[in-house]
Amino acid sequence: MGNYLYSPSPAVHLFITGLDAAGKTTIIYKFCQMKNIQFEVKNQYNSFMCFEHINFKNYETITLDLGGNMRPEPFITKNVVGCNVLMYVIDISDVYRRQEAKDEMFRFLQVSETRGIPLIIIFSKVDLPYNMTETEFIKFFELDKIKERKWTFIMMSAYTEMGLLEGFKWVESKAKLIF
Write the CB contacts of 37 (distance below 8 Å, at least 6 apart in sequence): 31, 56, 57
Q: Confirm or deny that 18 is annotated as ligand binding.
A: yes
Give the pLDDT score at 56.
66
Q: Confirm or deny that 35 is annotated as ligand binding.
A: no
Q: Confirm or deny that 64 is annotated as ligand binding.
A: no
Q: Confirm or deny that 20 is annotated as ligand binding.
A: yes
Neighbours of 119 (CB within 10 A): 22
Fold of 12-178: Rossmann fold (3.40.50)
The Cα 115–Cα 148 span in angstroms is: 7
Q: Can you spell out the DSSP letters for 36-78?
A: T--EEEEEEE-SS-EEEEEEETTEEEEEEEE-TT---HHHHHH
Q: Which helix (H) or strand (E) holds 141?
A: none
Give the pLDDT score at 155.
95
Phi, psi of 63 (to 5 degrees): -115, 145
Q: Confirm or deny that 22 is annotated as ligand binding.
A: yes
Give the pLDDT score at 178.
54
The Cα 53–Cα 49 span in angstroms is: 13
Q: Confirm or deny that 19 is annotated as ligand binding.
A: yes
pLDDT by residue for the chain (179 residues), tens only, comes to: 443 343 455 578 888 888 888 988 888 888 878 877 776 766 665 544 556 666 667 777 777 766 555 666 777 888 788 888 999 999 999 999 999 999 999 999 999 999 999 999 999 999 998 778 889 999 999 999 999 899 999 999 999 999 999 999 999 888 876 54
Give the pLDDT score at 131.
77
The Cα 36–Cα 136 span in angstroms is: 35
Q: Confirm or deny that 25 is annotated as ligand binding.
A: yes
Q: Confirm or deny that 24 is annotated as ligand binding.
A: yes
| Residue-wise burial string across 28-40, b where 16 or more C-beta atoms lie within 10 A, e elsewhere | bebbbeeeeeeee
The Cα 138–Cα 8 span in angstroms is: 37
User: Can you name the residues that pair with 153 across neighbouring β-strands?
Assistant: 121
Q: Confirm or deny that 163 is annotated as ligand binding.
A: no
